[in-house]
Structure 1
Amino acid sequence: MSIYRVTEVIGTSPTSWEEAAREALTAASLTLRDLRVAEVAEQDIVIDDRGGIQQFRVKLKVSFKYEVPWNAATAHAGAGAQPHA
């Protein structure tokens, strides 16, 4: 049985949404292991004072395998069992 956790990360780029997504995934991969799926949750653009595009931004929902600490896994091994009367 596997359990996955989802977290949100935001990447930015002056050139494209694709590059912004790459930046977000690169940063996430530095601290999260076993990345599985990234879903684009939002895309937006920061507009400069002349009306041009200053930045592309992408919010990603990234899933990764959740690692249960060994002692927590064994402590909950009997979870769901009926208490004795």
Structure 2
Amino acid sequence: MSVLKVIEILGNSEKGWEDAAAQAVAHASKSVSHIRSVNIQNQSATVKDGKIHEYRVNVKISFEVK
């Protein structure tokens, strides 16, 4: 039996939502081991001069507790 824990973090990117999620996972993996999955909760963006400036995602990351 595995025990999983879930944390919620925010990721951002100037490239897109997919990159924002990848950035969130990359940053979390620096201090969290055994990441199993991510669940994108929310997507948003900031606008500057009439164009999307930054993409943002709220990500729930589940990982195995050893």
Q: Normalised by the size of structure 1, how large is the TM-score? A: 0.74
Q: Does 1:57 align with 2:48?
A: no
CA–CA distance in structure 1, aligned partners of residues 20 and 2 of structure 2: 29
Aligned residues: percent identity? 33
Matches within 5 A, 1:11-22: 11-22=11-22
CA–CA distance in structure 2, aligned partners of residues 38 and 61 of structure 1: 6
Q: Normalised by the size of structure 2, how large is the TM-score? A: 0.93
Runs (4+) of structure 1 moved beyond 6 Å? none
Deviation at 1:53, TM superposition (A): 0.7
CA RMSD of aligned residues (A): 0.8
CA–CA distance in structure 2, aligned partners of residues 58 and 17 of structure 1: 7
Structure ranking higher in helix proportion: 1
One-letter code aligned to 1:36: R
> Higher RCO, 1 or 2 (CA under 8 Å, sep at least 6)?
2
Pairs aligned (count): 66
Q: Does 1:10 align with 2:2?
A: no
CA–CA distance in structure 2, aligned partners of residues 14 and 33 of structure 1: 27
- Unaligned ranges ≥5, structure 1: 68-85
Which of structures 1 and 2 has the bigger CA Rg? 1
Determine the structure 1 residue equivalent to 2:25.
25
Structure ranking higher in strand proportion: 2
CA–CA distance in structure 2, aligned partners of residues 23 and 37 of structure 1: 14
